Amino acid sequence: MKSLIWDEEHECASREQIEKWQLEGLKRTVNRMWLRVAPYRAKMEAAGIVPEKIKVLSDLQYLPFMVKDDLRQAYPFGLFAEPQENVVRLHASSGTTGKPIVVGYTQNDLNMWTDLVARMVTQASVGKGDTAQVAFGYGLFTGGFGLHYGLERVGATVIPISGGNTEKQLMLMQDFGTTALIATPSYALYLGEQAEQMGFDLSKSKLRVGLFGGEPWTDEMRGQIEKKLHILATDNYGLSEVLGCGIAGECPLALGHHIAEDHFIVETINSSTGEILEPGNEGELVFTSLDKECCPVIRFRTKDISVIDQSPCACGRTTARMKKVTGRVDDMLIIRGVNVFPSQVEAVLLTIPGIGSQYQLHVYRRNYLDELEVHVELSDSSLLDRYSELEDLARLIENKLYTVLSVHCKIRLVEPLSIERTPGKAKRVVDHRKEK
Ligand code: DLL
């Protein structure tokens, strides 16, 4: 498997060099925010910090955090550091309720974004000669357009099919000879299931690699995708508020996602106290942009949980790597005082034979107590008629989940393919506690 380096100067620089770029970029960004973004300047003033105080990289710690709510309150353009005539593109976060978070890009921002996506797809081994099917939604979501331009930049043939229309996806995949699939992992798995149902033999197709991102997924799910689609499945990470896709992605060694540290400073913090953690400790990822023009961010709290590793990778890159995101701080369910992440449930479920690949957690409050009900698809519907086997399977799942979670869950086994699939991000948790 080839793993080329797109930009050796920046991807393989010494730590000393990276930190030099970071300090210069940090000073630039702090000045820009101070002069052009009044709500952030007010935060700095409240914290008693002025741009001149930023002298060394560790002075970052004195700068106030930015959170999603700051961006929401500034809807739509309140945190833009550029006048409208310099803004050439708008995207928005994928939140389902209320007003979205809007992000703008200048032409320089778009050029940088395209470079970073080109870097990310190159490290996942995609380049000239590949045919890349972009099954992310094109629109306000950054996935479609972000991947699109980066793939064109490396010279791949891009199929901008967007999300959904699964039959057509499979048809074009065969007829156009797609070699790289770009999608959310949950949609990739659905494509695999549908291919099986429709009698498409993906082992005979040209598909060889997947670039998946946009939602958390476990290594167990990676295994299932690789088996069903007969490909190498790589993960990449990003978020609209910081840039979109292209912030970090895996090389084929899959030893963590290489972070574009020449454009972003990454920190991990204790989510409850805000305390900065040393690399190697699990915490909430926090990003600072170094050269974004329209929507710079300083210490943006992502709520995503991961671990940073600053040691160089065997592939030759020296930028810090982040472990696969295990979940979001706000995805964490607290069931009778115990913390439960959907990813823990996924990791258990996908090792049990006889069940399908989709699941959903339903949380109820009954008699003032939280209850977790896990809906799990069977892989074979004939089991639904064999009650004792069904009961045995449910008990097995419950016991295995209890071992990992220390919480008793109710297991509901449902028909194959009956849990809703979406072309975008999967809905893993349905919280009924807020319902009347
Ligand atoms: O999902 C950007 C993106 C598009 C990344 C395509 C990768 C590929 P948002 O819609 O703003 O942006 O959602 C960002 O999605 O804070 C994470 O919680 C989650 N997320 C994104 N990628 C991953 C990943 C895009 N690889 C939010 N693993 C982030 C885990 C991810 N979670």
pLDDT band at 152 (very low <50, low <70, confident <90, very high): very high
* DSSP letter assigned to residue 100: P
DSSP-assigned states of every residue in 24-63: HHHHHHHHHHHHH-HHHHHHHHHTT--GGG--SGGGGGGS
pLDDT of residue 95: 63
pLDDT tens for residues 228-254?
A: 999 999 999 999 999 999 999 999 999
Largest pairwise CA distance in the chain: 72
For ligand 1, atom 19: residue with the closest CA: 215
For ligand 1, atom 4: residue with the closest CA: 143
Structure pTM? Answer: 0.94
pLDDT of residue 332: 86
Count of CB atoms situated within 10 Å of the CB of 175:
8
* Percent of the chain topping pLDDT 90: 88
Distance 240 CA to ligand 1 centre (A): 8
Which among 102, 138, 186, 325 is the best mutation to test ligand 1's pocket, defined by most ligand atoms within 8 Å of the CB?
325
Residue 312 burial (C-beta neighbours within 10 Å; 0-12, 13-18, 19+): middle
pLDDT at 5 over 70: yes
Distance 246 CA to ligand 1 centre (A): 10
Ligand 1 site: residues with CB under 6 angstroms? 93-94, 136, 141-143, 213-216, 235-240, 244-245, 302, 304, 325, 328
Our measurement of the distance from residue 179's CA atom to the centroid of its chain's CA atoms, rounded to an integer in Å, reads 22
**Tokens matching residue 159:** 């199929």
pLDDT tens for residues 27-42?
A: 999 999 999 999 999 9
Distance 137 CA to ligand 1 centre (A): 13
Torsion angle of C-alpha atoms 99, 104, 110, 115, degrees rounded to 10 = -60
For β-strands 283-289 and 264-269, DSSP reports them as antiparallel
pLDDT of residue 2: 52
Which among 221, 266, 284, 304 is the best mutation to test ligand 1's pocket, defined by most ligand atoms within 8 Å of the CB?
304
What are the structural domains, with CATH classification, of the chain?
1-326 (3.40.50.12780), 332-434 (3.30.300.30)
pLDDT tens for residues 111-129?
A: 999 999 999 999 999 999 9
pLDDT tens for residues 362-381?
A: 999 987 889 999 999 998 88
pLDDT of residue 434: 76
Residues 233, 276: Cα–Cα separation, whole Å: 32
Distance 390 CA to ligand 1 centre (A): 36
